[in-house]
Amino acid sequence: MNSDSSAKSPAWIRPEDVMRVRKLKAKRKALQARMISSTNTLQILAPVHGQVNDSLSQGVKRRNPFKCSPNKRSKLDEDSNIDVTSDASLFRLLNPSEGKDSSSISGKTVDFSSFFNKEFKSSSSSQTDDSTSKQTWAHKLAVDWSLKSKIRFRSPKLLPWKHNFKTSEEASGTTGFVRCLSSASEENEDRTLDTSANAKFYQCCLLWQHPNLPWIQLFPRDNIKISSQTGIFGNDPKLADSLLAEWSESVRSLHQLLRVRQCPYFYMCGPTFTCLFRAAGVAGISQMHALISPTTRGFREAMKNEDIEFDMPFHSATSVKNSSELKDELDGSDFEDNLGGGLEEEEGEEAKSWLEDLGVETSQFPNLNPSRAKLDRVKYKNIDSTPTSLVYVEGMEIQGLVNFLLNSRSCISPVGPLAGVPPTLLSPVAFQGGTLKALKTKGNTIHQDGETHYSMEVMGPVMPHTIHQLTSLLCTALDEFSFSCAPVISTQSFSKYKHQEDSCAPQAFAQEGLVDCGLDSSVRTLICTPPEPEESELPRTYREVTYKAEKFTWSNKL
């Protein structure tokens, strides 16, 4: 009984007491772990501070824990000195079947990544060195006679222009352009025209155009896709004839202005070609002349039939196949061609013998030799519709060329959205039937790499004098800027043509003869001066132009 009474029953344990005890144990363990980690940190830092003091007293440099080990550094140096461009290295890289030796050359590890890295670095460094060494600067921007569809100016400083114009700026710009008034002239002191930078900018963005059909894209015509849909002028002959009659009057008006040097130049943009007419004295040429590009054999044959004399300046300088190769091509043609050629040769021989019996010199009739005629066709076929097919006409032949273009079927497309629409005429001065057009402008602010750049984009048919007028305005306001432009590809050959120097017109007479052409004296000087010797290393056409330290440099690559 006593033993049973002395024994006590165990106390009741509540669940919340169990959870509290567990939480206390977890906090105690976390506190102990924190104290142990802080103690280890102090033990680690103590000798480091001691080493620093000793190094200061004894002059011993402390070891950098982030420093690369000497073994790794020597290995990296060895890898960088490997000549991965040697024949043995390339052979081992391209033959992985050799096992360990395929990835090691003389005990040094090589892979394709190191090879490409080295090659890329060497090529990029060489390109930068070449670009800096070959970059040429000129005091004046050369004249690029190719048409531009877009030009974008860019500068780290705020441009003096705005894409929205006030009433006075637009009115003064229009008045100055229509009356051919130069804002830099001394006579402007008595006038009330607005001479602000924005008014001058608007005046530079104007041109004359014919025809003016707002619902049809008349420039550029290179990128117009020929579709099955025909425009309203192609379906109605009366509309097409009336439009052609008005266009013919505009062409005659421009031709008369060109003859008396009251128009420096104008463009005729057709469906398959572009013609540039320039007055006498422009580009150092003493006679009125024209450049047509590109052309085809049929177009040139039609000019010959109209007795229009012309030259192909780029054709003689090109490498064409020799006569023996062309004969081989003719001999290797199909059976029908050979059969037809045989019949033509037989007829030609009969005609040749008949003329010889009459005592006529057969050398005056080259068409009697069919093989030779076919040889010439194959030789000229390689240059058709290319920049090499540029045609040059000058002097009294311009009158015949104008009459030929007025009556030529190649000037008007018979199908597509431009069916029945004559070529687009672009001129810097007013002419009969011309419509005053303004280029579209758009300003923007560019934030790139933490820097701010200001840009102005000009869209439309940008002519050569427009570029020089805009750059001259920027040169007076900014000390550094650049611009990029998009040229019409078919007109780039105009700038590559260079006339012979022995027949160049004196610059003084050329500029004086173009006083009433509507351009100021600075632009007249540029368009009358041939390329200078300092510009010989620079391309004649440009896509990217940079102005800095009162000098220009340009390239044909973006």
The string of pLDDT tens digits covering residues 46-77 is 544 444 444 444 444 556 655 655 555 555 45
Q: Higher confidence at residue 124 or residue 526?
A: 526
State both tokens at 260.
């008396």
So what's the pLDDT on residue 341? 44
For the ranges 250-259, 354-363, 533-542, the one whose mean pLDDT is highest: 250-259
So what's the pLDDT on residue 306? 93
Alpha helices in 59-166 (DSSP H): 70-80, 87-93, 112-134
For the ranges 88-92, 116-120, 332-336, 489-493, the one whose mean pLDDT is highest: 489-493
**Contact in structure between 290 and 277 (CB atoms under 8 Å):** yes
Q: Render pLDDT for 494-504 as a digit per residue (tens, 0 to 9).
A: 998 887 655 55
3-class secondary structure, 82: coil
Phi, psi of 237 (to 5 degrees): -65, -30
Q: Is the pLDDT of residue 454 over 80?
A: yes
CA distance 536 to 534: 6
Q: Is the pLDDT of residue 245 over 60?
A: yes
Q: Is the pLDDT of residue 33 over 90?
A: no
Hey, what amino acid is at 283? A
CA distance 125 to 555: 20
Return the number of other C-beta atoms located less than 10 Å from residue 177's C-beta: 22
State both tokens at 304.
């010959």
**Contact in structure between 92 and 105 (CB atoms under 8 Å):** yes
State both tokens at 55.
């190094």
Q: Higher confidence at residue 462 or residue 105?
A: 462
So what's the pLDDT on residue 178? 94
So what's the pLDDT on residue 51? 46
**Contact in structure between 288 and 394 (CB atoms under 8 Å):** yes
pLDDT level of residue 197 (50, 70, 90 thresholds): very high
Query: Is beta strand 544-548 parallel, antiparallel or unpaired with respect to 274-278?
Result: unpaired
Hey, what amino acid is at 97? S
CA distance 519 to 143: 14
Mean pLDDT within 295-314: 92
Query: Is beta strand 104-105 parallel, antiparallel or unpaired with respect to 391-394?
Result: unpaired
Cα separation values, 449 from 158, 256, 452, 544, Å: 18, 54, 8, 21
CA distance 76 to 83: 14
Domain boundaries, the chain: 16-67, 79-134, 148-315+390-555, 323-382
State both tokens at 439.
């280029």
**Contact in structure between 263 and 429 (CB atoms under 8 Å):** yes
Cα separation values, 185 from 167, 188, 276, 431, 522, Å: 23, 6, 29, 24, 12
∠ CA 246-249-255, nearest 5°, is 145
Q: Is the pLDDT of residue 381 over 80?
A: no
Residue 170, judged by CB atoms within 10 A of its CB (0-12, 13-18, 19+), counts as: middle
Q: What is the residue-wise DSSP string for 164-233?
A: S--HHHHHHHHHHHHTT--TT-GGGGG-----SHHHHHHHHTEEEEES--TTS--S--TTPPP-S---HH
Overall residue count recorded for the chain in this entry: 558
Run of H or E including 329: helix 323-331
For residue 488, give the nearest of 384, 387, 418, 391 by alpha carbon. 387
pLDDT level of residue 359 (50, 70, 90 thresholds): low
